[in-house]
A and B are shown apart, each in its own frame.
Chain A
């Protein structure tokens, strides 16, 4: 509850007219950003905890061994995905991506994951290997002075039917195979 309350209070502050319109002084803007950043992190702890409870549920195998499966996942949010940055996807040999749909109807989604190379495989929970595509991170983004990232590409895949107020998870792993790096269309240079 204290985690949620921090974000609740921050959202209260964000309803001040200066926060809504951007007419706050610069130092106040920094403070707003700090509050929102901390609020996102505190709520992340809650979602991590809830998702771990949901994904841990006792499976038949667990019952056979008489104990819950001791699986804990990080469920990190990557707040810099808008500039194609994410430590987990850039640096891990294998990782999972969980998509939670906050809407009251199922949705489809094109997922873009920043990656350093073009040798990944994406599987869903039914052991189906998904079609993927790579596109380069735009040159202007790669040249941003403050962007410290290994990601040169974005891995794209299509997710169908994420259930309402529900989630789907994907297992993403580096492979030994070599894939073609995305090349510009030569007819349109």
Chain B
């Protein structure tokens, strides 16, 4: 803070030695980064993602529109890659759970969310995949089916689905559940792969300060 007159304010005087100055600067840098990321402390990783998975996800996203660009009003934007936790899955049904931390999404608006998943098909076959968006609404204990996306798949590989506003809202609340259901299941194993290199993920574009925006209905 600058005053109209008087000496410049400073964080330290000439009394600090070099090592103390360095410690002070490191502490300042740490606190600055955490503040800007809306974190109270550095995250402790409970389930670290392997470098292989990370590399695959980033390669899949290569060429897609980059979300983290600074706007004129200096709003901070984020692009989040959330890897799925699989549960209650069978050959005919793959359920994917995604968690978004409160500290990351608190007061933020998810602008776009894309699901990316790997499908393995026998040669010369097609498959229709039904992607169901299940939402756990506030003050509710059961998942509610909100929307479905039908995707025609004619080759093995990575596929993506642009999820709608319901999925965006669920992600903003912190939890998104998706079900992937092949419409005609003839194979002996699931066509949707979830191994280390093929783990499904959601790529979301987030804007900070969403809750403060006025919406017109």
Query: Is B one of A's binding partners?
Result: no
